Amino acid sequence: MSNERSLTELEQADPFAERHIGPAADEQARMLDALGYASMDALLTDAIPASIREKLALACRPRRPRHRPPRNCARSRTATRC
């Protein structure tokens, strides 16, 4: 007898969301406790080098459009001086 399962059996084994969304809050807390971290931020601080975290922080900051002067500049309609 073959150990292979049919596609239908595999599709019905677990709901899609449970396989792809990630751990629930209690599962995440148990994982962090087992690893010795108080929070995901603490884990990520140790796992991701500072140079990469800084680049990510810069990349995620909202940027001002280049064609518009800053609000506090005299060229702006809402300000009186730079």
Tell me, what's the pLDDT at 82?
Answer: 46
Contact call for residues 32 and 47 (beta carbons, < 8 A): no
Q: Is residue 34's pLDDT more than 90?
A: yes
Q: Is residue 66's pLDDT more than 90?
A: no
Q: Is residue 38's pLDDT more than 90?
A: yes
Contact call for residues 56 and 65 (beta carbons, < 8 A): no
The tally of domains found in the chain comes to 1
Between 56 and 23, residue with greater pLDDT: 23
Kindly state the greatest CA–CA separation across the chain: 84
Residue 43: count other Cβ atoms within 10 Å of its Cβ. Answer: 16
* Gap between the terminal Cα atoms of the chain: 81
Mean pLDDT, range 29-52, rounded to an integer: 92
Between 76 and 73, residue with greater pLDDT: 73
Tell me, what's the pLDDT at 42?
Answer: 93
The boundaries of the domain holding residue 18 are 1-82
- E-strand ranges in 1-82 read none
Query: Residues of the chain with pLDDT > 90: what percent?
Result: 23
